[in-house]
Chain A
Amino acid sequence: MADPQVVQRVKEVIARVLETDPDSIADDANFVFDLGASSMQSLSLVAAFEEEFGIEMEEDKALEVQSVADAADFIQGYLKK
């Protein structure tokens, strides 16, 4: 389980990129299926996460992450390093 604060920051990043309300994003929401992210927006999300958290993610693996909860877990893995 990711830190709730990380989850909230992830949602805020997603809301910014996808131009939606962070409160409307569920923890298990899928970027594409539930939030309608295009392939370009998926790339933008990776960049925005890196900027928000000051990390550098492995792009291929980052793009495989599909949901809010998974993204928070993935990012937390980098924050612990």
Chain B
Amino acid sequence: MTNAAGNSLDGFFYPKSVAVIGTTDVEGSVPFDIFYNILKDRLNGIVYPVSPGKKHIAGVKTYKYVVDIEEPVDLAILVFPSAVCHMALEQCGKKGIKSVIIISAGFREVGQAGIEREAKIKAIAQKYGIRIIGPNCLGLINTDPESHLNASFARKMPAEGNIAFLSQSGALCTAVLDYAQGKHIGFSKFVSFGNKTDVSEIDLIYYLKDDPKTKVILLYLEEVTDGPGLMKAAEAAVREAGKPVLAIKSGRTSAGAAAAASHTGSLAGSDEICDAGFEQAGIIRCNTIEEMFNRAIALAYQPVPKNDRLAIITNAGGPGVLAADATVGSNVELARFTEKTQELFWKKLPRAGNQSNPVDVIGDARADRYEIAIEGALADDNVDGVAVILTPQSMTDIDDIALNICKVGEHNEKPIYTSFMGEMDVASGIDILERHKIPHYILPEDMVDSFAACCTFRKEMAHKLDAPVVFKDVDKAAAEKVLDEAAKAGRHHLPEADAEKILEAYRLPVIPRAVAKSAEEAAKAAAKIGFPVVLKVESDDIVHKSDIGGVVLNVADEKAASAAYETIMKNAKKAKPDAKVDGVLVAKMITGADEVILGLKQDTSFGPTIMFGLGGTFVEIFKDVSFRVAPIGSISAKEMVREVRAYKLLSGARGRTRRDVAAIEECLQRLSQLATDFPQIKELDINPLMVQDEGKGCHVADARIMI
């Protein structure tokens, strides 16, 4: 198995010999526990303690230096203080060790001195071709019996399972291991990658994509350093290998958005862009550890539902309704049973209950009645998954019902999920379910959410590749020239005329216009463009032009154009006496069109990101916008337009005229190309883009570009 760069990480996961460098004989210390965990958890290989000053540790002969070990060493684990890690790493290089885990803290996370130490170890690693996991991490665990490596200071080794967990936080790992053990959740691989000075979550996802022991990949991230790289790796796992990737990205901050200078900048906070990037790549984003594991066990233990139709079986009406309500909120469907199933339930289940979905087998139901309902629902062609709810009544044979579900679940091609509600009385039943890998949830809503996550994964897996179209008719050189000149002049905010030149170069349809320096010129320009026209003050120093009376709409003839020029100049001088005014822009006025906003923003993690929304209040108040990380293809462009709630206004709802949606989609793709061609464009707003009736196109009425 190899990662994106073609480098195998097998040396980390399947070493035949491991050296723990800097270990000690102090029980309860990290250096000792790492060594002792490898020993007591029975690595399928040899472990060498390297410890200057000690002759033996836990009955095993020690070596002063790693280079003193005569046999080859596949993996080294450094547990020395950070100040001497470079010395140990240098020896690893000389010994020919290619995989090194640096557990030690005291690097990038502690400031300048740590940054320098990290740079030093990176240079040594490059010199010898060493791959590094860490520093500042908990280590890794591989439960595969072929290796059985517990190279961590976790309190215990988890059971073998088919879920891989990757975490940037080491401390979280130990809590997750404890949580998972309580729920009988096993792991295939468990990796704390810390400061990711070399091996990152991206390398690990590529590795796990091809790991036969891993079915589901879980990720805990505190920062996304290479958004496009992460998206590519996740896409490969989800869409090529059919493995779900679930992720928590902590730090939902809006601090970055607050400092933005454009509509797009203020709406596209880092978290919204992260959401968009994850969704594009097929990553299922989770908010909490519990939510992530709830979804993970559904994906890891059960087959993926073929469609979105869920049957609910319950012995209590209330929880059944809660689950049914949750299907609506989770975008899945309540299955409608076939006549055959309805007939079966009518005959075999109590009439006092409910024979349609959610099926109420009523409070006195025992295992036999549950079995009829579960098997009947599973056999129904209109059902894609079955959710079983149980509340403990005095006559409920909880353990027998649990065992029955396990028996049915073992051979079924459709998934089963359970919610045995309560705590003490249902505990043994839950234990049976969890040990048999039947997903269990305390709350029915969580059960439905997990079914919905499985449906999302199925759709993501089937998502078609969205290859971006490269428009050949763009004039990249012309746009580059304008941007270069602006950069040379030290401008951060391009004048409207320059912004339009750039958009025109990318064939984004700018409204016919001209800049007038006098009332006479304004009248002539208006006549040439054709009435009605709009006049607008042309000044870098006046950002919100309408607010100061700098815009006059619907100018119908030459005389009115001349008068509008004078009014605008007067207002500008009054409102901003120091502003440098370059004249008045005269532009064709588009009527009978809807206003939409298109934007782009360079994100520090994900790169260029495209935004779409309806103009005016929809953007300002409702924040009704969609995002995609560029480059985008036609599928994403279509999805972006349809994702906003206000799409119905464009699509001809309630007798409205259908607008030229295809023209918007083309503009989004052209904007995406512009964004990827010129990373120096920090933010861009096309606001508004005037969209006319279907087939009549759209026009850029105003644009702002920040570099």
Residues in A lying within 8 Å of B, measured CB to CB:
18, 20, 30, 32-39, 64, 66
Contacts and interface: CB of A to CB of B under 8 A. Distances in A.
Contacts, number: 30
Interface stretch (B81-89, B193-201, B211-219, B523-531): B81-89
A38 B24 contact: yes
Contacts of A18: 53
Given A38-B24, A38-B26, A66 B84 contact: yes
Contact of B51 (A36, A39, A64, A66): A36
| 8 pairs of A and B residues whose beta carbons are closest in the complex | A36-B53, A36-B52, A33-B84, A33-B87, A32-B84, A34-B52, A35-B53, A35-B52
Q: Which of A33, A34, A36, A39 has the most CB of B within 10 A?
A: A33
Interface residues of B, number: 14
Given A33-B52, A37-B53, A66 B83 contact: yes
Interface in B146-198: none
Contacts of A38: 24, 26
A20 B52 CA distance: 11
Given A30-B87, A34-B52, A36-B24, 11 more contacts: A20-B53, A32-B81, A32-B83, A32-B84, A35-B52, A36-B51, A36-B53, A38-B24, A38-B26, A64-B83, A66-B84
Interface of B: 22, 24, 26, 51-54, 64, 80-81, 83-84, 87-88
Contacts of B24: 36, 38
A29 B344 CA distance: 84
A49 B87 CA distance: 25
Nearest to B84: A33
Contacts of B52: 33-36
A32 B80 contact: yes
A9 B22 CA distance: 27
A59 B592 CA distance: 78
Nearest to A37: B53
Contact of A33 (B26, B54, B80): B80
Contacts of A64: 83
Contacts of B84: 30, 32-33, 66
A37 B53 CA distance: 8
Nearest to A19: B53
A81 B88 CA distance: 36
Nearest to A42: B81
Nearest to A40: B26
Contacts of A35: 52-53
